[in-house]
Amino acid sequence: MSPHDVPPENEEIPFMQRLLDNPFILLFLGVASPAVLYLIWGIMEIVSIPLGK
């Protein structure tokens, strides 16, 4: 079924399609993923470098 068809009443919309149809959950995922894996991980590595004397 292409996402443009409206499913019959009794048919469940598949989970992936519901996910892809919700821009705000996608927005959350798209910000959370790089925030954790790039920014937070990176910041943690940089702040754990011992200070030179």
Which residues of the shown chain bind other proteins in the complex (CB under 8 A)? 2-6, 16-17, 19-21, 23-24, 26-27, 29-31, 33-35, 37-39, 41-43, 45-46, 49
Shortest reach from residue 10's CB to other proteins, in Å: 17
- Residue 13: which residues within 8 A CB-CB, separation 6 or more? 7, 21
Other Cβ atoms within 10 Å of 17 Cβ, number: 13
Shortest reach from residue 18's CB to other proteins, in Å: 10
C-alpha to C-alpha distance for 33 and 35, rounded to whole angstroms: 5
Shortest reach from residue 12's CB to other proteins, in Å: 15
